[in-house]
Amino acid sequence: MTDRYQQFTNSGVGRALVKRLGLPNPTPLRRHRAGDPALDGPALLRSAPGGRLAEAVGAVCKAAGIEVLTAAGPKTYGALVFDATGIASVSQLRELYDFFNPVLRAVGTCGRVIVLGTPPERIADADELIAQRALEGFVRSVGKELVRGATAQLVYVEPGAEEQIGSTLRFLLSGKSAYVDAQVIRIGIYGGHVVEPEDWTAPLAGKVALVTGASRGIGAAIAEVLSRDGAHVVALDIPAQGDELAAVANRVGGSTLQLDITGGDAPARLVEYLRSRHGGVDIVVHNAGITRDKKLANMKDAAWDAVLSVNLSSQLRVNDALLADGILREGGRIIGVSSIAGIAGNTGQTNYATSKAGVIGMVDAYAPLLAPRGITINAVAPGFIETKMTAAVPLFIREAGRRMNSLSQGGLPVDVAETIAWYANPASGGVNGNVVRVCGQSLLGA
Out of 43, 107, 209, 337, name the contact with ligand NAD by CB under 6 A.
337
Task: Identify which of 394, 392, 357, 364 has the alpha carbon closest to the alpha carbon of residue 378.
Answer: 364
Region of 53-61, 139-147, 217-225, 425-433 interacting with ligand NAD (CB under 6 A): 217-225
* C-beta of 188 vs 383, nearer to ligand NAD: 383
Asked whether position 215 contacts ligand NAD by CB under 6 A, the answer is yes
For ligand NAD, how many residues bind (rule: CB under 6 A)? 27
**Strand order, beta sheet including 328-337:** 255-258, 232-237, 208-212, 281-286, 328-337, 376-382, 435-438
Asked whether position 212 contacts ligand NAD by CB under 6 A, the answer is yes
* C-beta of 127 vs 260, nearer to ligand NAD: 260
Out of 38, 238, 252, 357, name the contact with ligand NAD by CB under 6 A.
238
Asked whether position 323 contacts ligand NAD by CB under 6 A, the answer is no
Asked whether position 382 contacts ligand NAD by CB under 6 A, the answer is yes
3-class DSSP state of 205:
coil
* C-beta of 149 vs 289, nearer to ligand NAD: 289
Strand partners, 438: 382
Contacts of 91-95 spanning 24+ positions with Cβ under 8 A: 92/48, 92/131, 93/131, 93/134, 93/138, 95/48, 95/49
With contact defined as beta carbons under 8 Å apart, do 328 and 375 qualify? yes
CB 145: neighbour CB atoms within 10 A?
11
With contact defined as beta carbons under 8 Å apart, do 66 and 81 qualify? no
* C-beta of 257 vs 371, nearer to ligand NAD: 257
Length of the chain: 446
CB 311: neighbour CB atoms within 10 A?
27
With contact defined as beta carbons under 8 Å apart, do 438 and 382 qualify? yes
Asked whether position 93 contacts ligand NAD by CB under 6 A, the answer is no
List 190, 352, 366, 423, catalytic entry: 352
CB 391: neighbour CB atoms within 10 A?
11
* C-beta of 164 vs 256, nearer to ligand NAD: 256
Tell me how far, at minimum, the Cβ of 317 lies from ligand NAD, in Å.
12
Active-site residue, 352 included: yes
Hey, which residues between 302 and 321 contact ligand NAD (CB under 6 A)? 310
Q: Which amino acid is it at 100?
A: F
- The residues annotated with a catalytic role in the active site are 352
**Residues in touch with ligand NAD (CB under 6 A):** 212-213, 215-219, 237-238, 241, 260-262, 287-290, 310, 337, 339, 382, 384-385, 387-390
